[in-house]
Amino acid sequence: MSRLYGGRWQLLNAPRLGSGGQSEVFRAKDTSGQLQGEFALKRVGSPKRHERFRREIDAIKRLSHPNIIKLIDHSALDDASTAEEKQFLVMPIAEGGDLSTPGRLALYKGSVDAVLQVAKQVAAALALAHSNAIIHRDVKPQNILFTGMGHEVWLTDFGICLIREQPRVTETPEIMGPRAFLAPELEEGGQLDVTSAADVYSLGKVIYYMVSGGIILPRERLHEEKYRKIFASGERYHLLELLLRKMVCPVENRMQDMESVIREVGKIEGWERNARLLAIGPDGLASLRETSAPFIRHCARHQRQRQCPSARSRHFG
């Protein structure tokens, strides 16, 4: 039997759930009997990443939210041994894969409702992180996991997040986050003490990636016809384009917080319903009364004349 992680977690003889430059993720089971089923064990491969490992655990422990991956167990934080089994964390398995999976991504191409459903959840998770002084800095499709076959998501991988009261651990000029979804203020080892606006930019790129079926928008080129033509399918697409123009743009013109993004997403979600209600709302009724008043008075006068013989004779005389 293979060695156990943390004295209880045994890797299963199954394909890896994922891998990257800094870690590998395996299926594992709890041999202690405390928990049943299968779990995801993320193993940190390099002791040089120990500080990032500590940071990821610290961030997840601070954040309790239905759209942020839960931490089930982890190795001791004070052990920076070179033995790879010394650094690990255990989380639930995202049975629906991540957003970069081709079959998953196909669900969102041209589906504004589904795209907004995912975007709102990620924005809500990031809003909580920001309220706890944590900037994710690595928002990308691979870090948006699906709990199952539906549209419910977990945001994961806080390994390069910025926790404001802690000293940074990224050595200049190392670049933060995925270049394709990276905020421009972080490029080329740029400003590291960023604000929540950096995550706003990256989420905007992810939204475009979803609605376009996997096209990665280069920098702030949404105004170019080949990138904006996907929004020519109706008013809600136009509203989504307007939102992205306020997210994927230079930081001085960008939305600065996730609460603003969530409000705008809500407006797009409810656009059709609000459009139907507009004509019978208070303002609509007042306008209708004002424009209809002359016609109503004319009809009332005509009705009185029909009921009164003398009036009728004067009217037709």
Residues labelled as active-site residues: 138
Short-list 94, 9, 78, CA closest to 43:
9
Burial of 143 (0-12, 13-18, 19+ CB in 10 A): buried
98: which DSSP letter? B
Integer angstrom CA distances of residue 26 from 33, 166, 241: 19, 30, 39
**ω before 66 within 30° of 0 (cis)?**
no
Short-list 155, 181, 164, CA closest to 247:
181
| Placement of tokens 């870090």 in the chain | 143
Task: Return the SS3 of 89.
Answer: strand
DSSP state string for 133-162 = TEE-----GGGEEESSSSS-EEE---TT-E
